[in-house]
Structure 1
Amino acid sequence: MKKLLLAAIFAFSSILATAQVKTPQASPSSKVEQVVGLTTVEVNYSRPSAKGRTVYGELVPYGSVWRTGANANTTVTFSENVKIEGKELAKGTYALFTTPKADSWDVIFYKNTDNWGTPEKWNDADVAAKVSVKPESTNRHVETFTISVDNITNDNAVLSIQWEKTIVPVKIEVPTKEVAITSIENALAGPKASDYFSAAQYFYQSNGDMNKALTWVNKAVELATANGKEAPFWYLRQKSLIQAKLGDKKAAIETAKASLAGAIKAGNKDYEKMNNDSIAEWSKK
């Protein structure tokens, strides 16, 4: 009987050890991802509910920095440089903090995103952008805290912070024209030296057409030296390997010597050794 009791206790303990209790979050997490023009805006945040409480002025005090949501930092990510209410903000991920007031809100984009709630020690150097926004009242009651990206055009949108009967609209301007023009100019200019080099390298590594690989690496060297610059020694190294694979050891040695000279000048011991080893190997009769 004692053995059975011990076995039952052991089995029950094992069940408790492996059991996972699942309950809903009081402030469930949410993610918003929106493309504005050619810029992706992503918001990750937690959503508390009012539950009959007065939010602003009581649950969220006026005049104090607020985490702007619940739990870990609310974060906003921009794939391109943007303007927030006219102020420049570099692309990247920021914690979103606010200081609610009756007639205006401070909206802060903070570089340190690893806080639970507000930072234990506030660092002004981490403030990437701070703007003042006038809150708007609405007759519609917003029960659950909401952040959305609204009023979208090719050039701007509104980051809308909503809760209770207050909406805080934060204007975002995105560089659609600049990104589009750069993309068009790059496409019309054709492949870059690095594109030709990557293509040649891939064909060499995958045993593709070595004649095509040689054509492309030659084009890479040509573009890289167009403004009187020296050919990158790693381009020449790749060219020598392709020439050797094509059976042209004489040309491969000459190219490897040029790569060796560049590697020595740059102080790159790895490429210096690789070229010396290859020259020795290809020089054998």
Structure 2
Amino acid sequence: MKTTRQPLFFQRTTALGGSFFYDPAEDALRVDVTTKEIPHKEQLQFEFNEVDATSAVASLNWEKKQVPFKIEVPVTDIVLADIRQKLQAQPGFNRQTWEQAANFALNNGGDLDEALQWIDAAIAGQFFSQKTFNNLSIKAQILAKQGKTAEAEALMEEALPLGTVFQVHGYGRQLIAQGQTDKAMEVFQWNAKNHKNTWPVHYGLARAYSAKGDHKSTLKHLKIALQNAPAQANRDRVQANIEKAEKGESIN
């Protein structure tokens, strides 16, 4: 495929009649691009290729030439600026807005100290504040990312009684994914003790035992989980994991 290097001009004047009245002084941007030969296109086409979270390659296709150029956007900076504005307006009267703000900053390279201020506002000190499993969990993740492991673990101990059986189950699975199998076992055992015979506590225990390589105990709790499973889709997943455990395979 033949390629050619040539300049691409972006004009401030959007109503320009082709190149007849082109004025270089009206250029907003000039970039060098590599064009490609393509099968004939009778009509001008624009395509967006190689799209990811912060960029895309736009391609202008016309006649036998493709002109690609990359567009990059500082998405995190834009979103955080918008968040700061919203927190000072009507959405800022809602606790969940502060939780979402902190969670976005945590997971997208934002300022962790700022994220900590936001989640603290959701937890206490404002008329809309309320301590929940979700916001304590977000704060614990921020603290862990700051290297304050002991504080993060203590906060999750406080969060457990506030969580639903599914929230605690999700936390246990998160710990397994992080390789913290002993801590995961403690969490799943706590869930089983405080939500006896409720789905999915035995499924959680099965995952904890599987993470520790105890296939006998894994099978024991999978069989109980199979009886407690509320829907066929759940039973199908548990049955598939029983078959894996019987082969000595991990179910995580």
Is TM (by shorter chain) over 0.5? no
TM category (shorter chain) comes to: 0.3 to 0.5
Structure with a larger share of its residues in strand: 1
Structure with a larger share of its residues in helix: 2
| TM, length-normalised to structure 1 | 0.34
